[in-house]
Structure 1
Amino acid sequence: MPLYEYTARTKDGQAKEGRLTIQSEKELAEHLSSENLILTSAKVVMSSAKKGFFSKFFSNTRVSHIQKIFFTQNLQVMIRTGFSLSNALNTLAIQTPSKGFREIIMEMKQDVESGKTFSDAIRKHKKIFSELFVNMVAAGEVSGKLDEVLNQLTVQMKKDHTLIAKIKSAMTYPVIVVVAMIGLIIAMMLFVLPNLLSVFEEASVELPTPTRILIAITNFVSTQGHWALLAIVIITVILLRIIKTERGKYYYHLLLLKVPIAGPIIKKVNLARFTRSLSSLLKTDIPIVQTLQIISRTLGNVHYRNVMVEAAEQVKKGVSIAKTLEKRPQLFPAIVTQMINVGEESGTLDTIVAEVAQFFEEDVDQTMQNLSTIIEPVLMLGLGAGVAGLAVSIILPIYNLSEAF
């Protein structure tokens, strides 16, 4: 279907502009009329064929996590206050600043009006809405509690966003400092040090060891630096290709779990996401086996995903979740398996895993704060040591030259 860009007006003369994918201009006018709008002008901006071709290269449908949170939260509020799903989607489309997301919402509205369920409408947009999101919405539709499910999704999405934001915030400063240090060192070795060090080499004094090392490094960067850079790029590309394979991803994720500082953080993040997702899905009518299968596709680390798949298979055989997780103590600490075991026996698993999720989310938050506190002075010491070493390498030969005269 073609994409139309239109101008319409309300009954009181207020102008409205928008875009809509629809079969014809006549259907566009009828659609706007049902919204109490009068079509004044319309033009085809892109046919479906062209859109399909160019969208592979120039996609305008990237939706941020914040946009999805606002969409879910506002949709929940409107449905709870009595809006029909169609009217709620129409209102959200008008209020959405992103053209790409607006078109997607309008497409979902059309699907709903044509008789499709909301879960079927959002299932078409897998790059935007996760499988967990789609299945929870489907469960909410069946139970008649869509507003409650959307509220649960809003809470979970906010917690996920907060968790990711704190990790990014803690790592931003160290990354900036390290990149700046490397850039400064390379710039000095390419443009400043060669001229200065050539004076020392031509002098008839014996150069100290730090200066000779600095000269060797500078000469290598000046003459062979481009080859070294090319080698780094090639090796990086090869490693990235390997990591994308199933076997490569398996060993890469295993290595990440064993890295001293990053490993524990990755474990806590996956445990927080696992328990939070489990808590949300248990509040719906989704079967436990399907719940574990859905969770397996939401976790970031392949080893945690594999355990979820195994747990789903074991549950089919009558084995409890806790029993399966107990076999992986390196991934699931005793506190997690014991709490899950208590929840399964008492019938309060959704409440207990929600508390476990809260514990790990707060633990990650505290860990990132402590990490920032530790990393900053370490970086300053490293920067100071680098500057001091550079200064010594330059000052010592100058001192020797002055003694020679």
Structure 2
Amino acid sequence: MFSKKKKKEKELSAFEKKMNDFFIKNFTKIKAIDKVFFLEHLNTMLGAGLSLLESLDVLSKEIENKKLQSVVNSIKAGVESGSQLSETLNEFPKVFQPIYVKMIASGELSGKLEESLGQVVNQMKKNYELTSTIKGAMIYPIVILIAISAVGIVMVTFVLPKITVLFKDIDTELPLPTRVLVAVTDFLSQPINMIIVLLSIASFLALYIYTLKKSINFKRFIHKININLPIAGKIIKQINLARFSLTLSSLLKSTIPIVQAVDISSEICSNLIYREALKESTEKIKKGITLSQCLREYDAIFPPMVTEMIMVGEKTGEIDKLLHELSKFYSNEVDKTMKNFSTIIEPAIILLLGLGVGGIAVAVVMPMYNLTQNF
């Protein structure tokens, strides 16, 4: 048997390398699960007795994501030059959130790096599970809305024009619902008008997103409406309370001072009302007021159960444990709500479809009924 010679890999030119690096840097995403994989395996290797440099060297070869691989190589170079792990991680705030970097820094100071990494991995996993649950629950309504929109466009563009043309030959005055249906169908059946409507909707959404990012007052107004919505408001509150309690619990376990811990926890909350309430509480804690007393002033967003459990934790010195229990409770509540989310919104979707189909049916049947009455 003849052994096959391995073909030499073609070396990239300087231009190709630059293009490759550009695409990796700007178009490759680092998934949350990749970051969990990296930190979990780093923790395992350190626990097995490997040095930090050896662990980073092995992981830089194992990681498949090219962008994360580049980041790990940079971290390895930083550690080799004498920097702490947290210092090098801090150079990549878009990859590693400040909360996790501060937890690792706290572990380095106390000589408990492995323990801190374990806490970081645990929190990242829980955040990933929470986010996955929310995203999974949102797929069903989004697909339904897209399907309804597509059917509506087909109906207005192709089906209804063939029906409404029959009513134009009727001499008698058409009922109001029929006149509205004819006017809407005539307008939207023209391709240019449909394009204008779709562009207007797209422009409105783009303006909404832009204003939401740029105007803090508009964002506050929208976020205040969100937490007061009938069904979604309760879910938003549960998500923010789960994230707040989980983050604060992890930070306090990492021996980070409560003022700094509450301030960092505020950044994890996605709703601006929660974020501002926690920022204000941070300033009050500096003056000697307890966290439970601060949060009592925001009873619309922090239920009595939260403030009471925090107060008990403050008195017993086990605030991190009670916050962990709170995070488990709210995470389970979010999980249960999201699993039943399709069941919750189905009546609203059926009602919406019923109104649409019923309205069209009434508009089509009414002139026919009037004609039979005349005969």
What's the TM-score bracket when you normalise by the shorter of the two chains? 0.7 to 0.9
Q: Are 1:237 and 2:206 matched, yes or no? A: yes
Other-structure match for 2:261: 291
Other-structure match for 1:147: 114
2:356 aligned partner, one-letter code: G
- What do residues 369-393 of structure 1 show as CA deviations (whole Å, max 9, x unaligned)? 3332121244234334533443454
Q: Are 1:109 and 2:52 matched, yes or no? A: no
Moved more, 209-218 or 288-297: 209-218
- What do residues 205-259 of structure 1 show as CA deviations (whole Å, max 9, x unaligned)? 6645543332122123235444433433333333333222222222221121122
Rounded Cα–Cα distance in structure 2 between residues aligned with 1:16 and 1:63? 30
Tell me if the contact between 2:45 and 2:55 (Cα under 8 Å) persists in the aligned partners: yes
Other-structure match for 1:31: none
Moved more, 328-337 or 65-74: 65-74
The 1:16/1:254 distance shift into structure 2, 3 A limit, reads farther
Q: Are 1:197 and 2:169 matched, yes or no? A: no
Rounded Cα–Cα distance in structure 2 between residues aligned with 1:136 and 1:229? 47
The 1:84/1:231 distance shift into structure 2, 3 A limit, reads same
Out of 343, 350, 362, the position equivalent to 2:313 is 343
The 1:130/1:367 distance shift into structure 2, 3 A limit, reads same
Secondary structure of 2:64 counterpart: coil
The 1:45/1:129 distance shift into structure 2, 3 A limit, reads farther
Secondary structure of 1:228 counterpart: helix
- What do residues 139-188 of structure 1 show as CA deviations (whole Å, max 9, x unaligned)? 11112211211111111111111111112222211111112111211222
Equivalent positions of 1:384-399 (< 5 A) are 384-394=354-364
2:228 aligned partner, one-letter code: K
Q: Structure 1 length as normaliser, TM-score?
A: 0.82
Tell me if the contact between 2:25 and 2:67 (Cα under 8 Å) persists in the aligned partners: no
Q: Are 1:356 and 2:326 matched, yes or no? A: yes
Out of 81, 84, 91, the position equivalent to 1:124 is 91
Rounded Cα–Cα distance in structure 2 between residues aligned with 1:84 and 1:325? 43
In the TM superposition, residue 102 of structure 1 has moved relative to its aligned partner by 0.8
Q: Are 1:271 and 2:241 matched, yes or no? A: yes
2:317 aligned partner, one-letter code: G
Out of 104, 109, 125, the position equivalent to 1:158 is 125
- Stretches of structure 1 lacking an aligned partner (at least 5 in a row): 1-12, 18-39
Moved more, 311-320 or 384-393: 384-393
- What do residues 51-90 of structure 1 show as CA deviations (whole Å, max 9, x unaligned)? 99x57x9614521111111112111111111121112122
In the TM superposition, residue 278 of structure 1 has moved relative to its aligned partner by 0.7
2:290 aligned partner, one-letter code: S
Other-structure match for 1:370: 340
- What do residues 5-53 of structure 1 show as CA deviations (whole Å, max 9, x unaligned)? xxxxxxxx99999xxxxxxxxxxxxxxxxxxxxxx978646788x899x
Other-structure match for 2:103: 136
2:254 aligned partner, one-letter code: T
Q: Are 1:73 and 2:40 matched, yes or no? A: yes
Rounded Cα–Cα distance in structure 1 between residues aligned with 2:7 and 2:268? 43
2:104 aligned partner, one-letter code: V
Tell me if the contact between 1:205 and 1:400 (Cα under 8 Å) persists in the aligned partners: no
Q: Are 1:186 and 2:153 matched, yes or no? A: yes
Rounded Cα–Cα distance in structure 2 between residues aligned with 1:163 and 1:41? 44
Moved more, 187-196 or 289-298: 187-196
Rounded Cα–Cα distance in structure 2 between residues aligned with 1:248 and 1:391? 40
The 1:117/1:60 distance shift into structure 2, 3 A limit, reads farther
Size of the alignment, in residue pairs?
A: 368
In percent, how many aligned pairs have the same letter?
39
Rounded Cα–Cα distance in structure 2 between residues aligned with 1:42 and 1:178? 47
Identify, as 1 or 2, the structure richer in helix: 2
Q: Are 1:318 and 2:285 matched, yes or no? A: no
Other-structure match for 1:33: none
Rounded Cα–Cα distance in structure 1 between residues aligned with 2:150 and 2:64? 38
Q: Structure 2 length as normaliser, TM-score?
A: 0.88
User: Which has the higher relative contact order, 1 or 2, with Cα contacts under 8 A spaced 6 or more apart?
Assistant: 2
Tell me if the contact between 1:343 and 1:349 (Cα under 8 Å) persists in the aligned partners: yes
Tell me if the contact between 1:314 and 1:324 (Cα under 8 Å) persists in the aligned partners: yes
Secondary structure of 2:118 counterpart: helix
Rounded Cα–Cα distance in structure 1 between residues aligned with 2:201 and 2:178? 26
Other-structure match for 1:24: none
- What do residues 109-142 of structure 1 show as CA deviations (whole Å, max 9, x unaligned)? 1111111111011111111110101101111111
